[in-house]
Structure 1
Amino acid sequence: MGLHRATLGRYAKLRYTAIEPLARCYRRYAALHHATALLAAKDAIFAARRAVAQRKRHSFVPSLAWPTVASGAWTKIALTMDEITSTMAKITSTMAKIASTRSGFASSKAGFVLTKAQVASSYADEISQLPIQNWRSAISSRPFHW
Protein backbone atom coordinates (compact mmCIF):
# COMPACT_ATOMS: atom_id res chain seq x y z
CA MET A 1 0.00 0.00 0.00
CA GLY A 2 1.56 3.27 -1.09
CA LEU A 3 1.67 6.47 0.88
CA HIS A 4 -0.49 9.39 -0.09
CA ARG A 5 1.34 12.22 -1.89
CA ALA A 6 0.50 14.74 0.85
CA THR A 7 1.89 12.35 3.46
CA LEU A 8 5.10 11.99 1.49
CA GLY A 9 5.32 15.77 1.18
CA ARG A 10 4.87 16.18 4.92
CA TYR A 11 7.52 13.54 5.55
CA ALA A 12 9.99 15.32 3.27
CA LYS A 13 9.24 18.63 4.94
CA LEU A 14 9.78 17.07 8.37
CA ARG A 15 13.10 15.63 7.26
CA TYR A 16 14.46 18.95 6.08
CA THR A 17 12.95 21.23 8.70
CA ALA A 18 12.84 18.97 11.71
CA ILE A 19 13.30 21.72 14.30
CA GLU A 20 10.13 23.71 13.64
CA PRO A 21 7.70 20.74 13.84
CA LEU A 22 9.47 19.58 16.99
CA ALA A 23 9.03 23.02 18.54
CA ARG A 24 5.37 23.13 17.45
CA CYS A 25 4.73 19.68 18.94
CA TYR A 26 6.44 20.64 22.19
CA ARG A 27 4.44 23.89 22.40
CA ARG A 28 1.20 21.91 22.01
CA TYR A 29 2.28 19.45 24.70
CA ALA A 30 3.33 22.26 27.03
CA ALA A 31 0.06 24.13 26.50
CA LEU A 32 -1.90 20.96 27.22
CA HIS A 33 0.16 20.21 30.34
CA HIS A 34 -0.15 23.83 31.48
CA ALA A 35 -3.94 23.77 31.00
CA THR A 36 -4.14 20.48 32.93
CA ALA A 37 -2.12 21.95 35.79
CA LEU A 38 -4.31 25.04 35.85
CA LEU A 39 -7.45 22.89 35.95
CA ALA A 40 -5.98 20.91 38.84
CA ALA A 41 -5.26 24.16 40.70
CA LYS A 42 -8.79 25.38 40.01
CA ASP A 43 -10.24 22.10 41.30
CA ALA A 44 -8.11 22.34 44.44
CA ILE A 45 -9.30 25.91 45.05
CA PHE A 46 -12.95 24.87 44.63
CA ALA A 47 -12.40 21.91 46.98
CA ALA A 48 -10.91 24.24 49.58
CA ARG A 49 -13.84 26.65 49.23
CA ARG A 50 -16.33 23.79 49.56
CA ALA A 51 -14.55 22.45 52.64
CA VAL A 52 -14.51 25.90 54.23
CA ALA A 53 -18.19 26.50 53.44
CA GLN A 54 -19.18 23.08 54.74
CA ARG A 55 -17.12 23.54 57.90
CA LYS A 56 -18.65 26.97 58.48
CA ARG A 57 -22.15 25.54 58.17
CA HIS A 58 -21.55 22.71 60.64
CA SER A 59 -19.17 24.32 63.09
CA PHE A 60 -19.71 26.75 65.91
CA VAL A 61 -16.12 28.08 65.69
CA PRO A 62 -15.35 28.35 61.95
CA SER A 63 -12.29 30.55 62.44
CA LEU A 64 -10.54 27.76 64.34
CA ALA A 65 -11.86 24.86 62.27
CA TRP A 66 -11.36 25.84 58.64
CA PRO A 67 -7.53 25.96 58.36
CA THR A 68 -7.14 22.29 59.35
CA VAL A 69 -9.73 21.16 56.80
CA ALA A 70 -8.42 23.26 53.93
CA SER A 71 -4.70 22.75 54.54
CA GLY A 72 -4.60 19.66 52.31
CA ALA A 73 -6.23 21.59 49.47
CA TRP A 74 -3.81 24.49 49.92
CA THR A 75 -0.90 22.02 49.82
CA LYS A 76 -2.30 20.67 46.54
CA ILE A 77 -2.50 24.22 45.17
CA ALA A 78 1.10 24.92 46.20
CA LEU A 79 2.29 21.67 44.59
CA THR A 80 0.35 22.45 41.41
CA MET A 81 1.86 25.93 41.23
CA ASP A 82 5.32 24.38 41.69
CA GLU A 83 4.54 22.00 38.81
CA ILE A 84 3.46 24.93 36.64
CA THR A 85 6.67 26.80 37.50
CA SER A 86 8.88 23.79 36.74
CA THR A 87 7.00 23.11 33.50
CA MET A 88 7.46 26.71 32.38
CA ALA A 89 11.18 26.48 33.24
CA LYS A 90 11.47 23.30 31.14
CA ILE A 91 9.65 24.99 28.26
CA THR A 92 11.96 28.01 28.48
CA SER A 93 15.10 25.86 28.51
CA THR A 94 13.86 23.76 25.58
CA MET A 95 13.00 26.86 23.56
CA ALA A 96 16.47 28.26 24.33
CA LYS A 97 18.04 25.01 23.09
CA ILE A 98 15.95 25.18 19.92
CA ALA A 99 16.94 28.82 19.38
CA SER A 100 20.65 28.02 19.86
CA THR A 101 20.38 25.10 17.43
CA ARG A 102 18.69 27.34 14.88
CA SER A 103 21.37 30.01 15.31
CA GLY A 104 24.02 27.32 14.86
CA PHE A 105 22.37 26.24 11.62
CA ALA A 106 22.16 29.85 10.48
CA SER A 107 25.83 30.48 11.23
CA SER A 108 26.93 27.31 9.41
CA LYS A 109 24.76 28.28 6.44
CA ALA A 110 26.30 31.78 6.48
CA GLY A 111 29.76 30.18 6.58
CA PHE A 112 28.90 28.05 3.55
CA VAL A 113 27.61 31.09 1.65
CA LEU A 114 30.77 32.98 2.59
CA THR A 115 32.95 30.10 1.35
CA LYS A 116 31.01 30.02 -1.92
CA ALA A 117 31.50 33.78 -2.31
CA GLN A 118 35.23 33.40 -1.60
CA VAL A 119 35.55 30.71 -4.29
CA ALA A 120 33.66 32.91 -6.75
CA SER A 121 35.86 35.91 -5.97
CA SER A 122 39.04 33.83 -6.37
CA TYR A 123 37.76 32.66 -9.77
CA ALA A 124 37.04 36.26 -10.69
CA ASP A 125 40.56 37.26 -9.65
CA GLU A 126 42.10 34.48 -11.72
CA ILE A 127 39.97 35.32 -14.74
CA SER A 128 40.79 39.02 -14.49
CA GLN A 129 44.52 38.20 -14.60
CA LEU A 130 44.24 36.01 -17.72
CA PRO A 131 44.55 37.35 -21.23
CA ILE A 132 41.16 37.92 -22.83
CA GLN A 133 41.42 35.14 -25.43
CA ASN A 134 42.10 32.42 -22.79
CA TRP A 135 39.27 33.08 -20.30
CA ARG A 136 36.85 30.55 -21.86
CA SER A 137 39.38 27.72 -21.66
CA ALA A 138 40.19 28.71 -18.06
CA ILE A 139 36.52 28.49 -17.05
CA SER A 140 35.94 25.18 -18.82
CA SER A 141 38.96 23.59 -17.09
CA ARG A 142 37.45 24.09 -13.60
CA PRO A 143 36.31 20.92 -11.77
CA PHE A 144 32.74 22.18 -11.33
CA HIS A 145 30.57 24.86 -12.89
CA TRP A 146 28.18 27.33 -11.28
Structure 2
Amino acid sequence: MSGISRFLPKRAGISPDLPARAGVSGNLPTHAGAPGDRGERHRMCADAMCNEFQDLVNAEVAARRDRLGLRAAFAEVARTLGFTARRVRACWHHEVRAVTLLEWQAVRDLGARRLAQEERRLQREDALIRQRLEAIRQRQAALRDLL
Protein backbone atom coordinates (compact mmCIF):
# COMPACT_ATOMS: atom_id res chain seq x y z
CA MET A 1 0.00 0.00 0.00
CA SER A 2 1.24 3.45 -0.82
CA GLY A 3 0.02 7.00 -0.49
CA ILE A 4 -3.04 7.98 1.42
CA SER A 5 -4.96 4.77 0.83
CA ARG A 6 -3.38 3.05 3.83
CA PHE A 7 -4.91 5.70 6.10
CA LEU A 8 -8.45 5.29 4.77
CA PRO A 9 -10.77 3.05 6.72
CA LYS A 10 -11.94 -0.14 5.05
CA ARG A 11 -15.54 0.93 5.33
CA ALA A 12 -14.89 3.90 2.98
CA GLY A 13 -14.91 1.34 0.22
CA ILE A 14 -11.62 2.46 -1.28
CA SER A 15 -9.27 -0.32 -2.12
CA PRO A 16 -5.53 0.29 -2.57
CA ASP A 17 -5.56 -1.59 -5.86
CA LEU A 18 -8.46 0.42 -7.33
CA PRO A 19 -6.54 1.79 -10.35
CA ALA A 20 -5.27 -1.68 -11.23
CA ARG A 21 -8.74 -3.19 -10.92
CA ALA A 22 -10.37 -0.45 -12.96
CA GLY A 23 -7.88 -0.83 -15.80
CA VAL A 24 -6.61 2.73 -15.51
CA SER A 25 -3.28 4.10 -14.54
CA GLY A 26 -2.79 5.91 -11.27
CA ASN A 27 -1.87 9.10 -13.10
CA LEU A 28 -4.77 11.44 -13.46
CA PRO A 29 -4.73 14.22 -16.03
CA THR A 30 -3.82 17.60 -14.62
CA HIS A 31 -6.29 20.36 -14.96
CA ALA A 32 -5.39 23.47 -16.96
CA GLY A 33 -5.60 25.85 -14.04
CA ALA A 34 -3.30 23.88 -11.80
CA PRO A 35 -0.79 25.93 -9.78
CA GLY A 36 2.18 24.44 -11.66
CA ASP A 37 0.64 25.44 -14.96
CA ARG A 38 0.05 29.00 -13.75
CA GLY A 39 3.77 29.64 -13.34
CA GLU A 40 4.43 28.47 -16.88
CA ARG A 41 1.65 30.68 -18.28
CA HIS A 42 2.91 33.64 -16.24
CA ARG A 43 6.44 33.16 -17.53
CA MET A 44 5.22 32.91 -21.13
CA CYS A 45 3.16 36.06 -20.63
CA ALA A 46 6.13 37.84 -19.09
CA ASP A 47 8.37 36.74 -21.97
CA ALA A 48 5.85 38.04 -24.50
CA MET A 49 5.57 41.30 -22.58
CA CYS A 50 9.38 41.69 -22.48
CA ASN A 51 9.59 40.98 -26.21
CA GLU A 52 6.88 43.49 -27.03
CA PHE A 53 8.49 46.07 -24.72
CA GLN A 54 11.86 45.59 -26.42
CA ASP A 55 10.27 45.77 -29.87
CA LEU A 56 8.56 49.07 -29.01
CA VAL A 57 11.82 50.55 -27.67
CA ASN A 58 13.65 49.28 -30.76
CA ALA A 59 11.08 50.95 -33.03
CA GLU A 60 11.77 54.26 -31.28
CA VAL A 61 15.53 53.79 -31.70
CA ALA A 62 15.15 52.77 -35.35
CA ALA A 63 13.03 55.85 -36.07
CA ARG A 64 15.94 58.05 -34.91
CA ARG A 65 18.89 55.93 -36.02
CA ASP A 66 19.29 57.25 -39.57
CA ARG A 67 19.06 60.86 -38.46
CA LEU A 68 21.24 60.67 -35.33
CA GLY A 69 23.27 57.49 -35.44
CA LEU A 70 22.81 54.53 -33.12
CA ARG A 71 24.56 55.86 -30.03
CA ALA A 72 22.78 59.21 -30.11
CA ALA A 73 19.47 57.43 -30.80
CA PHE A 74 20.01 55.35 -27.64
CA ALA A 75 20.66 58.54 -25.67
CA GLU A 76 17.64 60.39 -27.06
CA VAL A 77 15.23 57.50 -26.50
CA ALA A 78 16.61 57.03 -22.99
CA ARG A 79 16.14 60.73 -22.25
CA THR A 80 12.62 60.71 -23.66
CA LEU A 81 11.56 57.61 -21.74
CA GLY A 82 13.42 58.38 -18.54
CA PHE A 83 15.58 55.26 -18.86
CA THR A 84 19.34 54.90 -18.92
CA ALA A 85 21.11 54.53 -22.23
CA ARG A 86 22.25 51.10 -21.01
CA ARG A 87 18.63 50.02 -20.55
CA VAL A 88 17.78 51.13 -24.10
CA ARG A 89 20.87 49.35 -25.44
CA ALA A 90 19.81 46.20 -23.55
CA CYS A 91 16.43 46.42 -25.30
CA TRP A 92 18.19 46.82 -28.64
CA HIS A 93 20.14 43.60 -28.02
CA HIS A 94 17.10 41.79 -26.51
CA GLU A 95 18.79 41.35 -23.12
CA VAL A 96 15.91 42.59 -20.95
CA ARG A 97 14.60 39.97 -18.53
CA ALA A 98 11.96 41.96 -16.61
CA VAL A 99 9.85 45.03 -17.26
CA THR A 100 8.23 47.25 -14.65
CA LEU A 101 4.77 48.66 -15.11
CA LEU A 102 6.15 52.22 -15.20
CA GLU A 103 8.58 51.31 -17.98
CA TRP A 104 5.81 49.61 -19.92
CA GLN A 105 3.52 52.63 -19.61
CA ALA A 106 6.28 55.04 -20.59
CA VAL A 107 7.00 53.10 -23.78
CA ARG A 108 3.31 52.75 -24.65
CA ASP A 109 2.74 56.50 -24.09
CA LEU A 110 5.72 57.41 -26.26
CA GLY A 111 4.50 55.06 -28.98
CA ALA A 112 1.04 56.64 -28.85
CA ARG A 113 2.52 60.14 -29.09
CA ARG A 114 4.70 59.13 -32.03
CA LEU A 115 1.73 57.57 -33.84
CA ALA A 116 -0.34 60.71 -33.24
CA GLN A 117 2.47 62.84 -34.71
CA GLU A 118 2.70 60.51 -37.70
CA GLU A 119 -1.07 60.75 -38.18
CA ARG A 120 -0.93 64.57 -38.16
CA ARG A 121 1.97 64.53 -40.64
CA LEU A 122 0.07 62.21 -42.97
CA GLN A 123 -3.06 64.35 -42.72
CA ARG A 124 -1.03 67.44 -43.72
CA GLU A 125 0.55 65.50 -46.57
CA ASP A 126 -2.90 64.31 -47.66
CA ALA A 127 -4.20 67.88 -47.65
CA LEU A 128 -1.25 69.03 -49.81
CA ILE A 129 -1.80 66.19 -52.27
CA ARG A 130 -5.49 67.05 -52.52
CA GLN A 131 -4.60 70.72 -53.20
CA ARG A 132 -2.14 69.73 -55.92
CA LEU A 133 -4.68 67.36 -57.46
CA GLU A 134 -7.33 70.08 -57.46
CA ALA A 135 -4.89 72.52 -59.09
CA ILE A 136 -4.12 69.95 -61.81
CA ARG A 137 -7.84 69.40 -62.44
CA GLN A 138 -8.43 73.14 -62.71
CA ARG A 139 -5.58 73.48 -65.24
CA GLN A 140 -6.97 70.58 -67.26
CA ALA A 141 -10.41 72.17 -67.25
CA ALA A 142 -8.90 75.50 -68.35
CA LEU A 143 -7.00 73.74 -71.18
CA ARG A 144 -10.20 71.99 -72.30
CA ASP A 145 -11.98 75.32 -72.40
CA LEU A 146 -9.23 76.74 -74.64
CA LEU A 147 -9.46 73.88 -77.11
State whether TM-score is above 0.5: no
Normalising by structure 1, we get a TM-score of: 0.37
- Which of the two has greater helix per residue? 1
Structure having greater relative contact order (Cα 8 Å, sep ≥ 6): 1
Normalising by structure 2, we get a TM-score of: 0.37
